[in-house]
Amino acid sequence: MAKSGTLPGPLIGAAGVHYVVAELSLRGLLALPTIRNVAGVDIVVSSPDGSFFANLQVKTSQHKVNFWPISTGYQSWRGTHCYYVFLRRRNDGPGPTFDVFLERAARVAAEVDRWEARWKEIGNKPFAPCWFAVEPKTVGPLIEHREKRLKRLAAQWSAFGRSESEPIEIQAMSASGFPS
């Protein structure tokens, strides 16, 4: 272990991928992790009959964060069946548990583009692309909107792959990036 209670990045990343695979397997889906460091897809998911499939990119943090760095290739990873799964480790009980949030890759890309533009607009230097589960306080909406967004993202994860219909309800996005 690096510091007391922390894991090196590659280990927490692997733990996140395997956590997602285990959860999806328990939902009756075929969830296959790709080999490490394959660009884009971390997990390929399918229903046993092949009627549902998805490609997942998993981002894991061992701390309770509200943002995750994503690769600069995010702009080209927007396919209809592409999703990001964002995990943050909770240390509030026995065993490893995670808060899990799911979002369509196209929506992640649109939000990152918008946040980067806003960041530059207020005079800040460019930084590595990040996706925010809740917007930074300096540019974000009221706290009740943040809680509503976190609940929506967690609900999308809970519903993922559990029905024959489209796994995520597409909600109209207001200019602030929150469902209208």
- Give 27-85 pLDDT, tens digit per residue: 999 999 998 766 779 999 999 999 989 999 999 998 888 889 998 888 888 888 999 99
**Are the C-beta atoms of residues 31 and 24 closer than 8 Å to each other?**
yes
177 falls within a domain: no
Average pLDDT, the chain: 79
| CATH code of 24's domain | 3.40.1350
Domain for residue 169, yes or no?
Answer: no
166 falls within a domain? no
With respect to residue 176, please indicate whether it lies within any of the assigned structural domains.
no
Residues near 154 by beta carbon (within 8 Å), at least 6 away in sequence: 99, 100, 101
Q: Total structural domains in the chain?
A: 1
pTM above 0.75, yes or no: yes
User: Is residue 27 included in any domain, yes or no?
Assistant: yes
- The whole domain housing 107 covers 9-159
Side chain identity, residue 86: F
